[in-house]
Amino acid sequence: MAIRINKYLSEVGYCSRRVADRLIEEGKVTINGEIPEIGTKVNEGDQVEVEGHILEKSIKKKVYLAFNKPVGIICTTDRRVEPDNIIDFINYPTRIFPIGRLDKKSEGLIFLTNDGDIVNKILRSRNNHEKEYIVSVNRYIDKDFIQRMSNGVKILDTITKKCFIEQLGPRKFKVILTQGLNRQIRRMCETLGYKVKSLKRIRIMNINLDLPVGKYREFRNEEIMELNRLLECSSKTFE
């Protein structure tokens, strides 16, 4: 049965559909030696190559990993970013890619997978999936800071969604977001005159951080079942 080339790249565990579309647009993908258009379908027996590398035709077993990313590791699949890229650091035996990002200065929970479909469902902000962080800043937090952060802050030409904020100490707070703008927490704090000193993600949806720094584990069966339930009505459509 023929399937779209971006879906094929996702199902063989090469990358997400969004990344696949970018690779196709850049002319880095071929089917039987020809550069396809977005939407071109792959038939059984076709030879698919990405940047000159022939892909395996069999669909791989789905891999879902939880990883406690250390500070200093970059969430990229570009292995030229050595030795700081997440793929070389984990050194997993099959090809995987991160779901979303944590910037280089941040640490904590990030998912890695070879399942391109699940990536889009988790990342779409309209799906309102929670991500929880513990943040320390450079000066004392007051009620005004908590109120303004929770009600939304203007960054990147938009107002952030309302979010849950709880003060944990004089300079520490917990925040639960349902969107993932670029460096969102750091930008929100900077807008209010604060500088983030440390940022750790401790939860994504139903999965909590329970690993030492630099270690990973596979999702537990009950976590996958609950994750699938939470994602059941989620959109995969790009915003």
> Can you list the domains of the chain with their CATH numbers?
3-54 (3.10.290.10), 64-124+207-219 (3.30.70.580), 125-204 (3.30.2350.10)
- Cα separation, 18 vs 213, in Å, equals 29
Residue 235: its pLDDT value, please?
53
Average pLDDT per block of 10 residues along the chain, 239 residues long: 85 82 92 90 87 74 93 88 86 89 95 84 71 97 96 94 96 94 95 97 96 96 88 57
Task: Match 């209010």 to its residue by tokens.
Answer: 192
CB neighbours (10 Å) of residue 30? Answer: 19
Q: pTM, whole model, 2 decimals?
A: 0.76
**Helix (H) or strand (E) run with residue 144 in it:** helix 143-151
- Amino acid identity at 8: Y
pLDDT at 124: 67
Q: Which residues contact 62 (CB under 8 A, 6 or more apart)?
A: 113, 114, 115
Catalytic residues: 103
pLDDT score at 45: 80
